[in-house]
Amino acid sequence: MDEPKEVTIQNYKGWEDFYKIKKSEKLDFFIRKGRMLDILFSQQFDRDFLNNMCQLATQIRRMALTKMGARKLSGLLSHKRAMLYFVQPSTRTFISFLNACHILGMKISEIRGTSTSSEVKGESQEDTIRTFASYVNLIIIRHPEAGFAEKTAWLLNQNKLPVAIINGGSGPDQHPTQALLDIYTLERSFRNIGGMDGKKIAMVGDLKRGRTVRSLSYLMRNYKDVTLYFVAPEVFRMKDDIKSFLNKHNIEFHETDDFASVMQHVDAIYMTRIQKEYAEAPAEETDVYPQFHFTKEHLSVIQSHCIIMHPLPRRYEIDVEVDKDPRAVYWKQERNGMWMRAALISYLFGVDDEIATEYR
Amino acid sequence: MDEPKEVTIQNYKGWEDFYKIKKSEKLDFFIRKGRMLDILFSQQFDRDFLNNMCQLATQIRRMALTKMGARKLSGLLSHKRAMLYFVQPSTRTFISFLNACHILGMKISEIRGTSTSSEVKGESQEDTIRTFASYVNLIIIRHPEAGFAEKTAWLLNQNKLPVAIINGGSGPDQHPTQALLDIYTLERSFRNIGGMDGKKIAMVGDLKRGRTVRSLSYLMRNYKDVTLYFVAPEVFRMKDDIKSFLNKHNIEFHETDDFASVMQHVDAIYMTRIQKEYAEAPAEETDVYPQFHFTKEHLSVIQSHCIIMHPLPRRYEIDVEVDKDPRAVYWKQERNGMWMRAALISYLFGVDDEIATEYR
Amino acid sequence: MDEPKEVTIQNYKGWEDFYKIKKSEKLDFFIRKGRMLDILFSQQFDRDFLNNMCQLATQIRRMALTKMGARKLSGLLSHKRAMLYFVQPSTRTFISFLNACHILGMKISEIRGTSTSSEVKGESQEDTIRTFASYVNLIIIRHPEAGFAEKTAWLLNQNKLPVAIINGGSGPDQHPTQALLDIYTLERSFRNIGGMDGKKIAMVGDLKRGRTVRSLSYLMRNYKDVTLYFVAPEVFRMKDDIKSFLNKHNIEFHETDDFASVMQHVDAIYMTRIQKEYAEAPAEETDVYPQFHFTKEHLSVIQSHCIIMHPLPRRYEIDVEVDKDPRAVYWKQERNGMWMRAALISYLFGVDDEIATEYR
């Protein structure tokens, strides 16, 4: 009985079947005329794409510095309409996407919260999506259900409606634009020291449920000789699926709960939040795993070029005092998210070339 | 005592009186310089207007297909501001209007939900409306109260503020833009077979409370030799007011509860939802009046040119399987709503001519 | 122990200390390159600034009357992004700011309500603000906490992020844009009778808690020979801080509870709401202090040039019948708010000169 293995892009029947197909085998389904139509999971990104997106994000960021550049950007997609469909609350990601769209002049419809009036009237999820797709050119989706964005793209691509889908976070599953902005932050920070290749990166905190560190780990296959250090309490260690993936792609990694011994050797420290909702004793929150916090004292321990990242929001993982150090790049990382999302949207609508011409 | 009859546009006193005046006798009140200032009820539409709006909607839809056309459209009303004042929830109509405005580049203020902070502070409804009118050029209103949009227009026209009002649905009363998009869908579908004149149209489902079929029926007086078939369970039959209207205008209609006998002869089938909130036994929802559902099997029964319409959202009235048939035009009908609303707004602001010049 | 007095712009430590510094001594902190970066309290406004803003507001208002002018305005800041961060509900102020931004073509992010999802995740208020500042060029804040907008500006100015802050109302404290629009309304109304200098202005109602009349009183130091009449019930008399301020600046004022004797002599009557939430007997609301209401009968008592103002929303303080009198300028005053806010934003982004060139 190995029937599940037989589901392929040639023989699948319906969504349930399609979802079972290995991601690497269905990449073409989300491509039209040599360009991705939907951005759903980080397996879609190869090194060329990552490099191009980083370059495009930098071009947009620089153009936005001048009035003439910013005005040109704001006209690029002023004739396009996007919907931000955020079933799961997320102020930060929402505003980041919204302003990425605004930079390019897009017109935005917002659907926030868990239910729409049509759902109340008994409409199916599929019909609701088709309705949204009737009105806009792009739908950015944040949904608690793993695979929801992919399902939407699958549904709409069948109907041949040229509506692009971006996954803005699908439950515990994927958050591909976060992975892109992390890569951009790393590449930007390392631009004078040879880029990502050969770097040592520590990931610290709740690696078990941290979507961002998981996605970022997957992308490491695109770079040469990267070494990862997973620094976590026993209960929050990185899951086996990621470790198998890294082994398969010959990416070196080490696991430890000794943050002090790791921090002095690495080129980047990626801090994550040990999430409130799982803390055992809320009354002692600030004391939760203090040995995995980054403090002011650590600044003299880490290398002079070692950057400190964090997907934000933070609680106690990083001292506020650390913010002033130029190696603390998490606020820059946050803004990079907006630039990278603008780059991605430019790419989806094929106006990346209009941006690139500014630099020829 | 026939005093109420004496209320005319010349002698009315205050809103209560004005509201009693027959709609046909107060059309001029909502006109400025030969052009409607407000869109409130479908009695305002004559055949010339309907034809012009259909043509304009098609022009906008086609312009939007090219980058140059779409960019031109998005600049037409970029200097105008609209407010979407939706007291009654309606995701679909809201997004349709919002994106119609966006196509033309309008800037949008949204007021959703039942109460504003000013109402909490004890402000009168009239003052709230005047406040909204202070800031924008157009107010699109959805309100549970019959006549509310008309009242707003009446109030603002007195004060000579050039603020346009569009009725986006006023309780059980009117939904004039829905009627316009239905006409557009019918005309577009029949464009190669002589348009609306002489066609047979079946309306199916809850005709008693269905606002859309009621509005559409009124518009039939603008076309020649249309025959209507009202197909409904006994408890949901079309009300007498519509039937009197049709009789008065010599529009042929038939009533029946035998859907099967009607469907094979008509040119269009307009399905409607038998609304959940009135179903007798919620547990058996899918079984509510199944003889008034349109199924896959019916596709081989209806004429090869017969279109199937639905105002959406649907529940069980139409099989999802039917969607793929080219005669199922309800998704197109939904998008037509956006184009028609854009056409209407273009007309209100007098930029319809700038659009028409693209086709000369 | 007079340590608090020693806190100066040179020696302060942290926000708590900074907040204690006299406003007049920290004006420079909110200035960059000779131009205000943040609009926080009315002490920032001198007569030149007030005059310039009034002129600019008029220029914008006139430009907006023509299609060419309105389109030019809507392109001025189409490359800039603002956030409306309204923790305290205020439909009127919100829409006024929103449309002021829209007039200039700005792209808007809205955060309404008391909590964001990041706050739920345990993020500090400071981090939330820095996040918002990451994405936009201007943050307009309405917050129940006195000093919150100033704190935000203080925080962001330290980090050298060029993000402007406008205080859209901070609790019982300040509402500087309301003061600006009131000055504009007065100046506009008095433009043919010599402007503000030498005028007599009555302020009526709840002067104790009325933020608007308090702010306006402060601005009187910028004009010559203005006389103020504070007309209020005993329990709602103007507080001592304002009276001290007026005495210090030699501004003449009189206190009375006899509205009738004052109204016939003044050039402007500024009515305010005696707020519902404090009324002793809700059942008798309409009767609350009727001697401080302005009625239709009063129209024949006041001078032919005397204007009637109100910050709105009103309840019973002014008869609806009064609205039709040309001296009732409160609806104009409301629209002036939008024009003045557009002027202020133009100034903050340095496009006031692009507007002024239209009039050279």
In tens, the pLDDT along A205-221 reads 999 988 899 989 999 99
Q: What is the pLDDT of residues C110-160, one digit of tens each?
A: 998 766 555 666 789 899 999 999 999 999 999 988 899 999 999 999 877
Please, which chains are in contact with A (at least 3 CB pairs closer than 8 A)? B, C
Q: Residue C338: list chain B partners with CB under 8 A.
A: 134-135
Residue of A67, A75, A276 with shortest CB distance to C121:
A276
Residue A283: per-residue pLDDT: 46
The pLDDT assigned to B283 comes to 46
Closest-CA distance of chain C to residue B7, Å: 23
Cβ(A288)–Cβ(A219) below 8 Å: no
What is the pLDDT at residue B319? 95
- pLDDT computed for residue B11 by the predictor: 87
| Cβ-Cβ contacts under 8 Å, C76 against chain A | none
Q: Which residues of B touch C315 (CB under 8 A)?
A: 121-123
Mutate to test the interface with C, among B121, B123, B132 (most CBs of C within 10 A): B121
Q: How does residue C288 score in pLDDT terms, banded at 50, 70 and 90?
A: confident
* pLDDT tens readout for residues A174-192: 899 999 999 999 999 999 9
CB C341 within 8 A of CB C179: no
In chain C, residues with a C-beta closer than 8 Å to the C-beta of A276 are 121-122
Nearest residue of B to residue C275, measured between CA atoms: B121
Question: What percent of chain A lies above the pLDDT cut of 90?
Answer: 78
Phi, psi dihedrals of residue A221, rounded to the nearest 5°: -60, -20
Contact flag C131-A92 (C-beta cutoff 8 Å)? yes
Mean predicted confidence (pLDDT) in A35-40: 96
Closest Cα in chain C, distance from residue B245 (Å): 40
| Residues of chain B neighbouring C95 (CB-CB closer than 8 A) | 83, 109, 111, 131-132, 135
Predicted local confidence at residue A274, as pLDDT: 80
Return the half-sphere exposure (C-beta side, CA atoms, 13 A cut-off) of residue A329: 23
How would you list the strands of the sheet with A307-309, edge to edge? Answer: A252-256, A227-231, A200-204, A268-271, A307-309
**What domains appear along chain A, each with residue ranges and CATH number?**
3-175+337-350 (3.40.50.1370), 177-274+286-335 (3.40.50.1370)
Q: List the single residue in B109, B117, B134 with the smallest CB-CB distance to C98.
A: B109
**Which pLDDT score, from 0 to 100, does residue C284 have?**
47
Residues of chain C that touch chain A, judged by Cβ-Cβ distance less than 8 Å: 75, 78-81, 83, 107, 109, 111, 116-118, 120-124, 126-128, 130-132, 134-136
pLDDT given at position B109 = 97
Alpha carbon distances (Å) from C180 to C48, C146, C313: 13, 19, 18
Q: How confident is the model at residue B279 (pLDDT cuts 50, 70, 90)?
A: very low
Give the nearest partner residue to A79 out of B74, B90, B275, using CB atoms.
B74
CB contact set of A13 (below 8 Å; sequence gap of 6+) = none
**Least confident among A231-240, A325-334, C284-293:** C284-293
Contact A83 B95 (CB under 8 A): yes
pLDDT per residue as tens digits for the range B30-74: 999 899 999 999 999 999 999 999 999 999 999 999 999 999 999
Report, as an integer, the average pLDDT of B305-320: 95
In this model, does residue A240 exceed pLDDT 90? yes
Is the pLDDT assigned to residue C1 strictly greater than 50? no
Beta-carbon separation of C102 and B81 below 8 A: yes
Confidence at residue C37, expressed as pLDDT on a 0 to 100 scale: 95
Q: Which residues of A are catalytic?
A: 92-93, 121, 142, 175
- Residue of B78, B118, B120 lying closest to C74 (CB–CB): B78
E strand residue ranges, chain A: 31-32, 35-36, 38-39, 81-86, 107-112, 138-143, 164-170, 200-204, 227-231, 252-256, 268-271, 307-309
> Rounded to whole angstroms, how far apart are CA atoms A171 and B304?
46
Which among C49, C68, C66, C67 is positioned nearest to C57, based on CA atoms?
Answer: C49
Mean pLDDT lowest among A274-288, C326-340, C343-357 = A274-288
pLDDT-derived band at A162 (thresholds 50, 70, 90) equals confident
Mean pLDDT for chain C?
Answer: 91
Residues 6+ away with beta carbon under 8 Å from A55: none
Instruction: Identify from A121, A139, A160 which residue to disrupt to test chain B contact, counting B C-beta atoms within 10 A and taking the largest count.
Output: A121
Catalytic residue numbers of C, as ranges: 92-93, 121, 142, 175
More confident residue, C290 or B199: B199
> How many other CB atoms sit within 10 Å of the CB of residue B155?
18
> Looking at chain A, which residue has its C-alpha nearest residue B76?
A79
Q: What rounded mean pLDDT belongs to chain B? A: 91
User: How far is A263 from A200, CA to CA, in rounded Å?
Assistant: 10
Q: Is the CB of B91 less than 8 angstroms away from the CB of A126?
A: no
Question: Which residues of chain A have a CB within 8 Å of the CB of B338?
Answer: 134-135
Give the residue-averaged pLDDT of C49-74.
97
State the smallest CA–CA distance between residue B215 and chain C in angstroms.
33
Chains with ≥3 CB–CB distances under 8 Å to B: A, C
Q: Does residue B142 carry a catalytic annotation?
A: yes
Cα of C136 to nearest chain B Cα, Å:
18
User: Where is C271: in which H helix or E strand?
Assistant: strand C268-271
Interface of B with A (CB under 8 A): 64, 67, 70-71, 73-75, 89-92, 95-96, 98-99, 102-103, 105, 273, 275-276, 285, 312-315, 320, 331, 334-335, 338
**Minimal Cα–Cα distance from C188 to chain A, Å?**
33
Interface test with A, best of B74, B76, B181 (most A CBs within 10 A): B74
Residue A287: predicted pLDDT = 62
Closest C-alpha to C334, from B331, B128, B16, B17: B128
Chain B closest CA to A130's CA: distance in Å? 8
Q: Measured between alpha carbons, how far is B316 from B332 in angstroms, rounded to an integer?
A: 19
Whether B152 is catalytic = no
Nearest CA in chain B to C278: B121
pLDDT beyond 60 at B309: yes
In the predicted structure, residue B80 carries a pLDDT above the cut 50: yes
Q: Which residue has the higher pLDDT, A311 or A4?
A: A311
Percent of chain B at pLDDT > 90 equals 78
**Which amino acid belongs to residue B220?**
M
Q: In sequence order, what DSSP letters do the residues of A27-82 get, joined into one string?
A: GGGGEETTEESEE--GGG--HHHHHHHHHHHHHHHHHTTSHHHHHHHHHHTTT-EE
How far are the Cα atoms of A121, B154, C185 from residue C197, in angstroms, in the given order? 62, 41, 14
pLDDT at B131 exceeding the cut of 80: yes
- Averaged confidence pLDDT in chain A: 91
User: CA-based Rg of chain B, rounded to a whole angstrom?
Assistant: 21
Peptide bond into B326 cis (omega under 30): no
Residue B69 and residue B62 in contact, taking contact as beta carbons nearer than 8 Å:
yes
Helix (H), strand (E) at residue C142: strand C138-143
Chain B residue numbers touching C81 (CB-CB < 8 A): none
Confidence of residue C360 (pLDDT cuts 50, 70, 90): confident
Nearest to B314 among A109, A127, A132 (CB): A127
- Give the pLDDT confidence score for residue A7 in this predicted structure: 81
C127/A313 touch (CB, cutoff 8 Å), yes or no: yes
Out of C75, C81, C127, the one facing A102 most closely (by C-beta) is C81
Which chain C residues have a beta carbon less than 8 Å from that of B14? none
Q: DSSP string spanning C199-256?
A: -EEEEES-TTT-HHHHHHHHHGGGSSS-EEEEE--GGGPPPHHHHHHHHHTT-EEEEE
B121 is catalytic: yes
Instruction: For residue B274, give how far its alpha carbon lies from the nearest alpha carbon of chain A (Å).
Output: 11
Under an 8 A CB cutoff, do A89 and C117 touch? yes
Among the partner residues B67, B102, B313, nearest to A127 by beta-carbon distance: B313
Instruction: Count A/B contacts: CB-CB distance under 8 Å.
Output: 73
**Could you say which of B175, B214, B293, B298 is catalytic?**
B175
At B117 the pLDDT is 57
For the cut 70, the answer to whether the pLDDT of residue A115 exceeds it is: no
- Taking only the tens place, the pLDDT of each residue in A196-206 is 999 999 999 99
Average pLDDT of B311-320?
93
ipTM of the complex: 0.93
The predicted-structure confidence for C300-322, as pLDDT tens digits, reads as follows: 999 999 999 999 999 889 999 99
B78·C90 Cβ contact <8 A:
no
C139: chain A residues, CB-CB within 8 Å? none
Name the token pair of A271.
């801090």
In angstroms, what separates the C-alpha of A351 from chain B's closest C-alpha? 11
* Chain C residues within 8 A of A70 when measuring between CB atoms: 79-80
Better-scored residue on pLDDT, A125 or B301: B301
